[in-house]
Amino acid sequence: EVQLVESGGGLVQPGGSLRLSCAASGFTFSDHYMDWVRQAPGKGLEWVGRTRNKANSYTTEYAASVQGRFTISRDDSKNSLYLQMNSLKTEDTAMYYCARITTTHKRADYWGQGTLVTVSS
Amino acid sequence: DIQMTQSPSSLSASVGDRVTITCRASQDVSNYLAWVQQKPGKAPKSLIYGTSRLQSGVPSRFSGTGSGTEFTLTISSLQPEDFAIYFCHQYNTYPVTFGGGTKIEIK
């Protein structure tokens, strides 16, 4: 069974940093691209970014709203995905989900339960 | 960025009704269009990908059609567990972009 479990969320002041983690199990993590997607309270879904797999040099893509502030990384030996968030703004307040990307169609098929990040003074 | 516009933003329907949601893309996304379902306080769940392919385990009352810039999600006979928010998203071009969502409420 595919499982994705996010952690690391919490309350942080504007300008601060936070590192989210996503622990994966039930599939060969190293084969898959992985995404982060967020959802502000009461709002829709917003794609944050993607990391490709080793075969594609672990390259990354980011939404313009987080480019230069957020960094996605992964540790295949630990079946884990990370999101380093720096220079946080109040508008980054959201539930953050990790999502597995299929190897063929390159779309999200499984999502974690999310971890809540609140940016407030 | 490709903008995804869903309509309606909400609708009221009864169990057994046929429901159709529309998603329009500002540019051609080929058939790289997916639908997800989200219930209150829960993670999104994949329903349909590649415009019309059902995610494993999704009931056959869900179907998707379209191509290019106009797509639809149809629920042939609404069930109590289908009351939720539905989002379309395109994955043809970076950044991946989502529609604003359609909330299906009980009439």
**Segment 27-86 of chain A within 8 Å of chain B by CB:** 35, 37, 44-47, 50, 61-64
Q: What is the mean pLDDT of chain A?
A: 97
**Segment 2-31 of chain B within 8 Å of chain A by CB:** none
Nearest alpha-carbon partner for B100 in B17, B19, B16, B21:
B21
Residue A54, token pair as written in the block: 């080793």
Q: How do residues A37-74 score in pLDDT, each as one tens digit?
A: 999 999 999 999 999 999 999 999 999 999 999 999 99
Spell out which residues of chain A touch residue B36, defining contact as CB-CB under 8 Å: 45, 108, 111
Bond into B8 cis (ω within 30): yes
Dist CA A62 CA A9 (whole Å)? 20
pLDDT averaged over consecutive 10-residue blocks of chain B (107 residues)? Answer: 97 96 97 96 95 96 97 97 97 97 94
CB of B78 within 8 A of CB of B69? no
Quick one: pLDDT at residue B107? 86
How much is the average pLDDT of A19-24? 98
φ, ψ of residue A77 to 5 degrees: the values are -70, -20
Quick one: pLDDT at residue A78? 98
Dist CA A48 CA A71 (whole Å)? 10
Quick one: pLDDT at residue B94? 96
B98/A45 touch (CB, cutoff 8 Å), yes or no? yes
Quick one: pLDDT at residue B106? 87
Q: Which amino acid is at A110?
A: Y
> Out of B42, B44, B49, whose CB is closest to A45?
B44
Question: Touching check for B84 and chain A: CB below 8 Å?
Answer: no
SS3 content of chain A, % helix, strand, coil (to 5): 10, 50, 40
Question: Touching check for B45 and chain A: CB below 8 Å?
Answer: yes
Quick one: pLDDT at residue B51? 97
Virtual torsion, Cα A72, B90, A45, B14, nearest 10 deg: -150
Q: Kind and range of the H or E element at A23? A: strand A18-25
Residue A80, token pair as written in the block: 């884990």
How much is the average pLDDT of A12-39? 98
Q: How confident is the model at residue A105 (pLDDT cuts 50, 70, 90)?
A: confident
B87/A35 touch (CB, cutoff 8 Å), yes or no? no
CB of B64 within 8 A of CB of B50? no
Spell out which residues of chain A touch residue B94, defining contact as CB-CB under 8 Å: 50, 61
Dist CA A76 CA A60 (whole Å)? 15
Quick one: pLDDT at residue A48? 98
| CA atoms within 13 A of residue A4's CA, in its CB half-sphere | 28
